[in-house]
Amino acid sequence: MHTSEAMALSAALLSVAGELTHRINEGVVARGFEGVRPAHGFAFARLAPDGATVTDLAAHLGVTKQAASQLVEEIVRKGYAERRPHPEDARARLVVLTERGWACTRAAEEAAAEAVGAWVELLGEGEVRVLRQQLGRIAPYGPLRPAW
């Protein structure tokens, strides 16, 4: 693998990632959820199963807990989540999605499916499955960082 090939692979990957993010966000907005940014989607993904604390979110997003706190304040104000007392720790608060938050998450899934659908038309279903498996194997466990 020459350095130029590595650069071409990197450029293609980042280009595809940028386009995908853009399309998902567009699709979410088109489904009636305004005032949401891509970063919110990654927060929703962490909140979705059982909720999370602000500190959990901060680690997941790779930002300070103050930034995570501000983000939570924003999505609470917009009706996508709510703060509940934590059942085991009186200092902490459990942030959980509201019904609107769940609806927005489903909209993001639909938009993602649409974007991936365009790849299926280009590569075929089998190749896209291969792509998913390959990316899954090299995906890190660390925080979701902004791409640049």
- Asked if residues 54 and 93 have their Cβ atoms less than 8 Å apart, the reply is yes
Residue of the chain from 21, 29, 31, 39 that contacts DNA (CB under 7 A) = 39
Stretch that binds DNA, among 12-20, 67-75, 106-114, 131-139 (CB under 7 A): 67-75
How many Å apart are CA 104 and CA 33, to the nearest integer?
Answer: 7
Stretch that binds DNA, among 4-12, 13-21, 62-70, 105-113 (CB under 7 A): 62-70
Q: Which is nearer to DNA, 50 or 121 (CB)?
A: 50
- Asked if residues 28 and 38 have their Cβ atoms less than 8 Å apart, the reply is no
**Least distance in Å: CB of 32 to a copy of itself?**
18
How many Å apart are CA 143 and CA 57, to the nearest integer?
Answer: 10
Residue of the chain from 45, 64, 70, 89 that contacts a copy of itself (CB under 8 A) = 45
Per the structure block, which two tokens stand in for 6?
């590595």
Cα separations in angstroms, 51 against 44, 48, 57, 86, 95 = 9, 6, 10, 10, 5
Q: Does 78 bind DNA (CB under 7 A)?
A: no
Q: By the criterion CB under 8 A, which residues form the site for a copy of itself?
A: 1-22, 24-25, 37-39, 41-42, 45, 108-110, 112-113, 115-120, 122-123, 125, 127-128, 130-132, 134-140, 142, 144-148
